[in-house]
Amino acid sequence: MSTDSGVRVGVLALQGDVREHLRALTECGASARAVRRPVELEQVDALVVPGGESTTISKLAVEFDLLEPIRKRISAGMPVYGSCAGMIMLAEEILDGRADQRAFAGIDMAVRRNAFGRQVDSFEAPVTIDGLGDPPFHAVFIRAPWVERVGDDVEVLGRVAAGAATGRIVAVRQGNLLATAFHPELTGDRRVHQLFVEMAAAAD
């Protein structure tokens, strides 16, 4: 399914699985492009923060002068979707983070880094996302965070539905900000990207 909205969606390209998100967004009808510099940020309507390593993305965001501009755009209502490390970057509170780790913040939640890693580094599990229908997502978790606290304004969209981590929150939305602990860009299931492109088009 494609919306052909042509909405300009950037993928923060400091580190992480940028190409997979660009492909997924393009397939959903967005005009997708990499964002590495403040001028490129100014040219997009919405932003994806990919999976990777949040401490590295944090450090590079400061070095590339993107931390404050992205925080400002978030305050001004820019839609942002964060996957895995990107979810961590959108959290108001990071548990098990590094002391000098910074976030773009915006979602009133506490996420714990590498939360599942105490049991197993990577795994796949079914996750039902509210509003995205059946079948459940085949969710891929790679040294993933989970959400330990959400504020009143945060909608919980998905929880792990099987295995040792059953019930853990792994998908949330607060206004124009969307985050998943898993990596939908690594599977062919485009429903999360489709939702985000629709959010971006609606905000445009």
Short-list 90, 93, 94, CA closest to 107: 90
Total residues contacting ligand GLN by CB under 6 A comes to 11
Known catalytic residue at 84? yes
Q: Specify the residue, 29 or 52, whose C-beta has the smaller distance to ligand GLN.
A: 52
Q: Specify the residue, 90 or 201, whose C-beta has the smaller distance to ligand GLN.
A: 90
CB of 43 to ligand GLN, least distance (A): 25
The site string for ligand GLN over 112-141 (x = CB under 6 A, - otherwise) reads -xx---------------------------
Short-list 88, 120, 75, 77, CA closest to 12: 88
CB of 134 to ligand GLN, least distance (A): 26
CB of 118 to ligand GLN, least distance (A): 12
Known catalytic residue at 183? yes
Cβ neighbours around 176 below 10 Å, total: 19
CB of 54 to ligand GLN, least distance (A): 3
Q: Which residues, 6+ apart, have CB-to-CB distance to 31 below 8 Å?
A: 6, 7, 8, 9
Helix axes 18-27, 191-203, angle to 10 degrees: 70
Site for ligand GLN, residues 35 to 94, rule: CB under 6 A:
51-54, 84-85, 88
Q: Which of 49, 115, 139, 142 binds ligand GLN (CB under 6 A)?
A: 142
CB distance 125 to 163 below 8 Å: yes
CB burial string 18-46: b at 16+ within 10 A, e below: bebbbebbbbbbbebbbbbeeeebeebbb
Known catalytic residue at 185? yes
Distances (CA, A) of 43 to 73, 77, 144, 148, 173: 12, 15, 30, 34, 24
Residue 31 within binding range of ligand GLN, rule CB under 6 A: no
Q: Pick the catalytic residue: 20, 21, 28, 183? A: 183
Kindly list the residues in this chain that would bind ligand GLN in the complex (CB under 6 A).
Answer: 51-54, 84-85, 88, 113-114, 142-143
Positions annotated as catalytic residues are 84, 183, 185
